[in-house]
Amino acid sequence: MVATSAESSPAVAGHELKINLRDPVVAGVLAWLIPGAGHWYQGRRTKAILFFLCIYATFFYGLWLGGGRVVYASWGPTSDEKRLPYLCQIGTGAVALPALWQAQRYSDGKFAQLMHEKADPKNDQRSFSEWFMAPPLPAVEHGPGGGEGRDEIDIINYRLNRRFELGTVYTMVAGLLNLLVIFDALGGPAYGAASARSKPPGSPGSTEATKPPAS
């Protein structure tokens, strides 16, 4: 049990621990936008820094592993065009949002055609803002005799090898971890003030939760 506001503050394990969650909804939204921001807003500064560093380090390391191409939004009609990992990656909040903007830009036929002309696999002439977190283009490399070529996703996979999958996993895990952080900002820690060295209150064998109140 954890005190989630200034009004209720049960004593656990002999200690008085108040966690003022302020406005949990605002904290939850902030926690989604920037990992740790919700905790910073609640005054839980140590945890804010801890979450910020851990989640952003995981996310950006994954992004670096995947050459900036592992986070993209794509929701085409075929299963190949559906980028399901993005549903996890969006959990990191603001840093994954450029992918939505890129998906919107690339959905415009004229812009996609222009990018297609620039995206030569041997000499990609797109600027950083044009390729970063952009959905892969279809058939950028022409086959022999002008036949069907390779899709950009195949070329990216070939170039990055297993780093593409590793980068995807890292960025997905970062997003999923931020979900835990959002829940913590919304409702406080799962075990509250209970010590890690003792059993959590309410768990079988725990004496803390069943102890009668001192008269």
Nearest approach, Cβ of residue 195 and other proteins (Å): 6
Nearest approach, Cβ of residue 26 and other proteins (Å): 18
Count of residues near other proteins by CB under 8 A: 34
Scanning 43-51, 79-87, 119-127, 152-160 for contacts with other proteins by CB under 8 A, the matching segment is: 43-51
CA distance 152 to 116: 10
Determine contact, residues 59/171, Cβ cutoff 8 Å: yes
Total count of residues recorded for the chain:
215
- Angle CA 141–142–144, to nearest 5: 135
- Contact partners, residue 192, CB within 8 Å, separation at least 6: 1, 2, 3, 12, 17, 19, 201
Note whether 1 binds other proteins by CB under 8 A: no
Note whether 51 binds other proteins by CB under 8 A: yes
Note whether 47 binds other proteins by CB under 8 A: yes
Could you identify the residue written with the tokens 């725990």?
Answer: 206
Site string for other proteins, 140-179 (x = CB under 8 A): ----------------------x---x--xx--xx--x--
CA distance 23 to 96: 25
Nearest approach, Cβ of residue 146 and other proteins (Å): 39
- Which residues 105-134 are close enough to bind other proteins by CB under 8 A? none
Determine contact, residues 67/160, Cβ cutoff 8 Å: yes
Note whether 186 binds other proteins by CB under 8 A: no
Identity of the residue, 196 or 214, whose beta carbon is nearer to other proteins in the bound complex? 196
CA distance 12 to 10: 6
Identity of the residue, 110 or 162, whose beta carbon is nearer to other proteins in the bound complex? 162
CA distance 46 to 184: 14
**Residues at the site binding other proteins, with contacts judged by CB under 8 A:** 2, 17, 19, 44, 46-47, 50-51, 54-55, 57-58, 61, 162, 166, 169-170, 173-174, 177, 180-181, 183-184, 188-197
